[in-house]
Amino acid sequence: MKVLSIHWGFSHGGVATYAANVQCLRDRIPLKLNSLCILPVGRDVDQGLLDSLDAIVLRVKSIVRLSWVFRVRAIVAEEKPDCVMSHGFNGHLVSLVATAGMQQRVRRLASYHGSYHPNTRVRRLIAPVYNGFTNWFLRNKADAIVSVAQYCVDILIECGVPARKFTVVHNGIRDLKPDQNKRAAIRNEWGYAPDHVVIGIASRLETIKGLDYLIEAFARISSAHEKLRLVLIGDGSQLDYLQKLAVSRTVGSRLKFAGMRSDVADCLSAIDIFALPSLSEAHSIGLLEAMRAGKAIVATDVGGNAESVRDDQEALIVKSADIDGLSEALGRLADDAGLRASLGEAAYERFCAEFTVEAMLNKTARWMQDVCAG
């Protein structure tokens, strides 16, 4: 069997990482799998990850300049795949136009990572088009779908996508041990002492991540917890707003905006509590990274979060957009080092059992063997 895995853009993020991991399937099952990465000129690309792949790279000027259609169709005609697997909205569009009308029947496989949540006003105007097309494609044109969370499946079934098409395989990440020797160095870099209790998150600074609720909750409890600190690792369109919010809540001196980091695993070793206040998630890679780091976790009950960690077992789960609930959970962990340790240990054990990249690839390999065999 021959499979062509298609990804448009290859920007930094979970979908690109997922597409890269898919290529590893050829080491597990007897199939020929190639990757096709279509890269618009000027777009931010995870070049290091892309360089690690043995991929066909097609550079195009824009999705609206349709010359790329003919070039993609020529590649598909030359590759002659039995199945095409697509990732993300643009990947699904490429899969559709690349295989339509082919003499040989090509099965369309798809991965689904959640709805499109834009971060600008202009993009919010086109979000219904993105999500509407994706739902239509999955409902009418995809032969089989692998979803990263049961939550996503339930939403798509409500949109009319047949349940028989779905298999759930949760995201997985590599079991990289953080360098504990860097904990003190990073905390010192941030200006935090060994006895500080540090709440942190590594995330895009966007509205959907609910970081303003985290700052509000931190402001509520910080006066009663002199040693409590907060660090936000990442960048995004809300940076200026969040900085001003921190100043207005008089916690600016106790909150660190650490910016983009390439050493996220080491940064997580420097924190004590991981807070995920998202308003929406599919299956959060950031949450898996916190589990891998063995951190005490507070997460909102959205998307697939509760599929990764369970309340009072591996984490404390709170409602989204609930400052009271978030404050209470963070305060509880700030006060109880024993609870932090027990939750962190349980989170790491669950990560090892369920959410390593090896577990994800083994499950995905079984799925692909089944669907390729019809």
Domains of the chain: residue spans and CATH: 2-172+357-372 (3.40.50.2000), 182-354 (3.40.50.2000)
What pLDDT does 358 receive? 94
Residue matched to tokens 């990947």: 91
Model confidence at 89: pLDDT above 90: no
CA angle 305, 344, 335 (to 5 degrees): 105
What pLDDT does 51 receive? 86
What pLDDT does 54 receive? 86
**Confidence band for 262, pLDDT divided at 50, 70 and 90:** confident
Q: Give the separation between CA 259 and CA 239, rounded to whole angstroms.
A: 9
What pLDDT does 177 receive? 77
Torsion of CA 290, 169, 31, 108, to 10 degrees: -120
Asked if residue 20 lies in contact with residue 51, where contact means CB atoms within 8 angstroms, the answer is: no
Residue among 1, 169, 177, 20 nearest 87 (CA): 20
Model confidence at 222: pLDDT above 90: yes
Torsion sign across C-alpha atoms 146, 150, 155, 157: positive
Tokens representing residue 275 in the block:
């807070």
By the 10 Å C-beta count (0-12 exposed, 13-18 middle, 19+ buried), 110 is classed as: buried
Among 187-196, 347-356, 364-373, which is the least confidently predicted range? 364-373
By the 10 Å C-beta count (0-12 exposed, 13-18 middle, 19+ buried), 244 is classed as: exposed
User: Which residues lie below 8 Å from residue 136, measured CB to CB, with a gap of 6+?
Assistant: none
Torsion sign across C-alpha atoms 55, 60, 66, 70: negative
| pLDDT, mean of residues 65-88 | 92
**Confidence band for 117, pLDDT divided at 50, 70 and 90:** confident
Q: Work out the mean pLDDT of the chain and round it to a whole number.
A: 93
**Confidence band for 27, pLDDT divided at 50, 70 and 90:** confident
Torsion of CA 192, 197, 201, 202, to 10 degrees: 40
**Confidence band for 42, pLDDT divided at 50, 70 and 90:** confident
| pLDDT, mean of residues 191-216 | 96
Asked if residue 215 lies in contact with residue 251, where contact means CB atoms within 8 angstroms, the answer is: yes
**Confidence band for 93, pLDDT divided at 50, 70 and 90:** very high
Model confidence at 88: pLDDT above 90: no
By the 10 Å C-beta count (0-12 exposed, 13-18 middle, 19+ buried), 129 is classed as: exposed
Residue matched to tokens 């559709």: 96
What pLDDT does 280 receive? 94
What pLDDT does 31 receive? 85
